[in-house]
């Protein structure tokens, strides 16, 4: 299309508002179409905040995430069958196990008394062995506490 | 001319993605019909005199989460996904249909049954993002400041996510559960007991020592946030 043709087309549009309106409608519909395609391709529909995503898509993604999560939990529990049976907090100690570090983190409520430290540690080892922990296979990190809070 | 503009307006609304999202947000997922539990939530455990222990007594959210979780049954031999019967709270006139639920289903249902507001998202990362948009909702980042654990109460949402694997800035693989009870002392030693859906168990004990999370789910996820209630 050369300049003359373009000028004539513009003049035609100016003389006939119906043509102009028709052109605007076509442009508007095309923009709506483009927005729909882009949002369906990207998944997310941004509307400032909060974000939205079609419900079925959310469930599909979350189901996959929950399945992966469950596999990992099952893996941990099969590797450490005693994991959920660690002793409750008591007046001698509180124990937690960090599987990444392969370390038991222990708070001893011995009030910095060396005699009690030994006694409470022995009690901890005994309690862990009762639930099947091979205590010699893991590291222990002890923190002295004044007393149970 | 007016007719043309009207047709144009209807066309643009019908094709708007927000219109379909709105329609979908109202519909329950995987819904089916079964018998209905009508009544109160599970009774709360007895109150512990130790002030550092926060039992689930502040609202009905943890109790309804427990009721929901106790009515889940295993599907595919792996996860507690299927709510075997509908649950109704006559006090709030809310009924949760029997059917399959992902982890967010428990959070949404417990809040609805208790008459409280939670973002009605099925994707945990979206629920997390939208948490602040609910009335009085606050999101705290335990990973950035583990002393914030002090502020966690029974009934709060517990969000767990990866640092990576993001879609549009939000974690794709994310999980959420409800804090059923919390017992963490002034030294940062103690536990959080959760209620879960779509997981191998309906309850887990998360252990903290010296404010550090030293148990599940820290071996899998690495960013943890709590959605506080107003």
Residues, chain A, total? Answer: 149
Q: Is B39 left (phi over 0), alpha (psi -120 to 50) or beta?
A: left
Q: What is the pLDDT of residues A73-126, one digit of tens each?
A: 888 889 999 998 999 999 999 999 998 899 999 999 988 888 899 999 999 999
Which chain B residues have a beta carbon less than 8 Å from that of A47? 18
Side-chain half-sphere of A61: how many Cα atoms within 13 Å?
23
Rounded Cα gap, residues B111 and B114, in angstroms: 5
B7 pLDDT band, cuts 50/70/90, is low
Residues B159-170: tens digit of each pLDDT: 998 766 555 555
pLDDT of residue A39: 58
DSSP code at position B80: E
Strands B157-161 and B94-96: unpaired
> Is A77 buried (19+), middle (13-18) or exposed (0-12) by CB count in 10 A?
middle
Q: Which residue of A has its CA nearest to B134?
A: A50
Residue B48: which pLDDT band, with cuts at 50, 70 and 90?
very low
- Chain A to chain B Cβ contacts (< 8 Å): 170
The reply to whether A27 touches chain B by the CB within 8 Å rule is no
Region A62-70: what's the mean pLDDT? 87
Closest CA to B123 of B12, B16, B24, B5: B24
Q: CB-CB: which of B4, B133, B189 is closest to A94?
A: B189
With a cut of 60, say whether residue B222 has pLDDT above it.
Answer: yes
Question: With pLDDT > 90 as the criterion, what percentage of chain A qualifies?
Answer: 36
Give the ipTM. 0.71
Distance CA B39, CA B62 (A): 15
CA distance B129 to B167: 13
pLDDT of residue B16 exceeding 60: no
pLDDT in tens, B21-45: 333 333 333 333 234 455 555 544 4
Distance, CA of A9 to CA of A114 (rounded, Å): 98
Higher pLDDT, B117 or A131: A131
Chain B contact probe: residue of A69, A76, A138, A147 with most B CBs at under 10 A: A69
pLDDT digits (tens, 9 = 90+) for A2-16: 778 888 877 877 778
Q: Which residues of B touch A97 (CB under 8 A)?
A: 207, 214-215
User: Tokens 């060396």, residue?
Assistant: A114
| A41, A73, A91: best to mutate for the B interface, most B CBs within 10 A | A73
How far is A38 from B93, CA to CA, in rounded Å? 40
Q: Tell me which DSSP letter residue B2 carries.
A: H
- Decide if B102 touches A, using CB distance below 8 A: yes
pTM of the model: 0.72
**Residues 111-140, chain A, touching B (beta carbon < 8 A):** none
> Residue B6: its pLDDT value, please?
56
A45:B17 CB<8 A: yes
- Reported as a single tens digit per residue, the pLDDT across B206-216 is 999 999 999 87
Q: Which residues, other chains included, contact B115 with Cβ-Cβ below 8 Å and sequence gap of 6+?
A: B60, B89, B91, B92, B94
């Amino acid at each position: 299309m050369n300049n003359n043709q373009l000028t004539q087309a513009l003049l035609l549009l100016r003389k006939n508002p119906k043509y102009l309106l028709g052109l605007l409608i076509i442009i508007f519909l095309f923009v709506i179409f483009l927005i729909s395609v882009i949002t369906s391709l990207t998944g997310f529909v941004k509307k400032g905040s909060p974000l939205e995503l079609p419900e079925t898509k959310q469930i599909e993604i979350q189901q996959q995430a929950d399945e992966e999560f469950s596999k990992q939990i099952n893996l941990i529990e099969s590797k450490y069958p005693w994991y959920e049976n660690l002793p409750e907090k008591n007046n001698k100690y509180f124990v937690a196990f960090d599987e990444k570090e392969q370390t038991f983190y222990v708070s001893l409520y011995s009030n910095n008394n060396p005699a009690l430290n030994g006694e409470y540690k022995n009690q901890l080892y005994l309690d862990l062995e009762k639930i099947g922990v091979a205590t010699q296979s893991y590291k222990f990190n002890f923190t002295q506490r004044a007393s149970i809070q | 001319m007016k007719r043309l503009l009207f047709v144009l307006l209807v066309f643009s609304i019908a094709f708007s993605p927000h219109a379909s999202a709105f329609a979908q947000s109202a519909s329950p997922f995987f819904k089916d019909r079964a018998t209905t539990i009508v009544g109160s939530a599970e009774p709360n455990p007895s109150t512990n005199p130790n002030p550092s222990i926060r039992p689930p007594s502040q609202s009905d959210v943890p109790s309804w989460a427990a009721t929901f979780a106790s009515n889940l049954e295993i599907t595919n031999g792996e996860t507690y996904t299927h709510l075997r019967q509908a649950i109704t709270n006559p006090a709030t006139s809310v009924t949760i249909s029997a059917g399959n639920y992902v982890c967010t289903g428990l959070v949404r249902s417990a809040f609805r049954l208790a008459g409280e507001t939670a973002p009605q998202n099925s994707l945990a990362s979206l629920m997390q993002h939208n948490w602040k948009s609910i009335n009085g909702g606050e999101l705290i980042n335990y990973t950035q400041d583990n002393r914030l654990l002090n502020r966690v109460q029974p009934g709060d949402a517990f969000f767990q996510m990866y640092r990576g694997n993001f879609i549009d800035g939000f974690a794709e693989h994310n999980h959420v559960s409800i804090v059923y009870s919390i017992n963490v002392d002034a030294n940062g030693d103690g536990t959080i007991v959760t209620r879960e859906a779509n997981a191998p168990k309906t309850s887990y004990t998360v252990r903290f020592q010296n404010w550090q999370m030293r148990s599940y789910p820290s071996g899998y996820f690495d960013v943890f946030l709590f959605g506080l209630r107003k």
